[in-house]
Amino acid sequence: MAGSYHEAPESLGSAPPGCPAHSTWSPLSTEYLTDPYPIANELRDEHSVFWSEQLGHLVITDMDLIEEVFMTPAVYASSNVQDPIAPLCPAAQNVLGAPDFNPVAVMSNRQEPDHARIRVFTRQGFSNRRLKALEDYMRSRATKLLDEMIANGSPAEFVQQFAFPLPAEIVFRLIGFPPEDDRMIKSWCVNRKAFSWGHPTDTEQVAIAEGMLDYWRYCREFVASRREKREDDFTSELLNAWEADSGPDRDPDATTGISYSEVESVVYGISFAGHDPVTALMCNTLLCLLPRRDQWQALVDDPSLVSNAVEETLRYESSQISWRRVTTQDTTLGNVDVPAGTRLMLNFASANHSPRHFENPDEFDITRARANKHISFGKGIHFCLGAGLSRLEARIALELLAERLPTLRLSGGQTFDYFPNITFRGPNSLHLEWS
């Protein structure tokens, strides 16, 4: 059975008996949002598993244990990954109680065997063949955005001028959304980040819930329009697969093929997952590289370093620093007895900087061997569907920037703000200069 896409918890839960607990640490504190790594390192050095009272989650800091969790999906379900982290206020619940707010769990939050059934169809949209076909389009869009940024002159604000529009345009065109809706969709996506990974106030929750409802209705109407008239896009391919399986009147709970309501929810899911972390990845590569002039110069001189520079950024300063799971049964993890129904926060920030897994983990080094052994795209059956796409987009962007703007640098005197949430990490704005 498909669960609903977002289910708010009724309470924050309590620590498993005998488990070490932390009462003050919060991934939403300004200090952690500004620079999570020194704190994540300390947390990992103290405990590989501990209970966070502020978050109501069991926090896993150790890379091997995080991998064990990812590789044991029957015990550690992904059903909570799109849920709000804390209970919702009644007014927000009321908004989302609208009878037509009915997205179903489809990919990241769907369990086996349905997850594998649906992934067969979604995988085709992100195959190497599809990426190869998209590469020329990505390169030409990236070139055009960069031409415009250069024409507007130094200094430039990189998020607005390049890092937001490029990944958004790519995934929205892949889905088939019309370009005139890009800004509106993006603003709904910010809502979703706050809804599922932030801790909004009651008043904010209501406004966010209204935005979520609009966003879901937009996705449904879009899929309905493609149902009437197919185009050359991912949504039309999914609808063709739905129809080919057993026709438009198939049973929505059928166990083969993909159902119509699943197509709607895949569009809702991928239109969020498919751009925000890539925007952040593009910004994070520059935040890491530009202050380290020797490494930036090495990359300008030798573009073959670009690929490893992207992997090292995903390790050192990932655009996703945590993910979640919930236990389906009583189990033991790293000597802690964990009851069924316990929510887990997998701390990628501490794992990606683990000295047991990476030499000098707090140093950024684009020539690092095994930089790609990070956990930033997850592992196992839910491994990120867009990993290949993200890597390709980031490589294209970095290659072009190094080639066209070798004197690129961070503007002095800027501070970096991060959207308050427990998972996604990239600066809200990034000011750059060149000569």
Q: Say if residues 54 and 24 touch (Cβ distance below 8 Å).
A: yes
Q: Is 382 in the site for ligand HEM (CB under 6 A)?
A: yes
Residue in this structure with the two tokens 């029957």, named with its chain if needed: 74
Q: Are strands 336-338 and 343-347 parallel, antiparallel or unpaired?
A: unpaired
What's the angle, vertex CA 165, arms to CA 270 and CA 118, rounded to 5?
Answer: 10
Using the rule CB under 6 A, which residue among 386, 397, 400, 402 binds ligand HEM? 386
379, 364, 197, 234 alpha-carbon torsion, rounded to 10°? -60
Q: Is 173 in the site for ligand HEM (CB under 6 A)?
A: no
Helix axes 260-273, 165-175, angle to 10 degrees: 170
Q: How far is the CB of 201 from ligand HEM (least distance, A)?
A: 27
Using the rule CB under 6 A, which residue among 188, 197, 323, 364 binds ligand HEM? 323
In the complex with ligand HEM, the residue whose CB is nearer, 261 or 390, is: 390
In the complex with ligand HEM, the residue whose CB is nearer, 164 or 377, is: 377
Q: How far is the CB of 81 from ligand HEM (least distance, A)?
A: 7
Q: How far is the CB of 90 from ligand HEM (least distance, A)?
A: 31
Using the rule CB under 6 A, which residue among 376, 398, 410, 430 binds ligand HEM? 376
Q: Is 227 in the site for ligand HEM (CB under 6 A)?
A: no
> What residues contact residue 236 under an 8 Å CB cut-off, 6+ apart?
176, 226, 230
In the complex with ligand HEM, the residue whose CB is nearer, 171 or 405, is: 171
Size of the residue set binding ligand HEM (CB under 6 A) = 28
Q: Is 377 in the site for ligand HEM (CB under 6 A)?
A: yes
Using the rule CB under 6 A, which residue among 108, 161, 236, 347 binds ligand HEM? 108
Q: How far is the CB of 178 from ligand HEM (least distance, A)?
A: 18
Q: How far is the CB of 117 from ligand HEM (least distance, A)?
A: 11
> What residues contact residue 45 under an 8 Å CB cut-off, 6+ apart?
none
SS3 65: helix
Q: What is the DSSP string of 146-191?
A: HHHHHHH-SSEEHIIIIITHHHHHHHHHHHT--GGGHHHHHHHHHH
Using the rule CB under 6 A, which residue among 27, 36, 378, 427 binds ligand HEM? 378
**Contact characters 280-319, ligand HEM, x per CB under 6 A:** -x-------------------------------------x
Q: Is 390 in the site for ligand HEM (CB under 6 A)?
A: yes
Q: Is 119 in the site for ligand HEM (CB under 6 A)?
A: yes
Q: Is 196 in the site for ligand HEM (CB under 6 A)?
A: no
| CA-based nearest residue to 47, from 16, 71, 83 | 16
| CA-based nearest residue to 86, from 186, 180, 200, 167 | 200
Q: Are strands 49-52 and 21-22 parallel, antiparallel or unpaired?
A: parallel
Residues in touch with ligand HEM (CB under 6 A):
70, 78, 107-108, 119, 171, 269-270, 273-274, 277-278, 281, 319-320, 323, 376-380, 382-386, 389-390
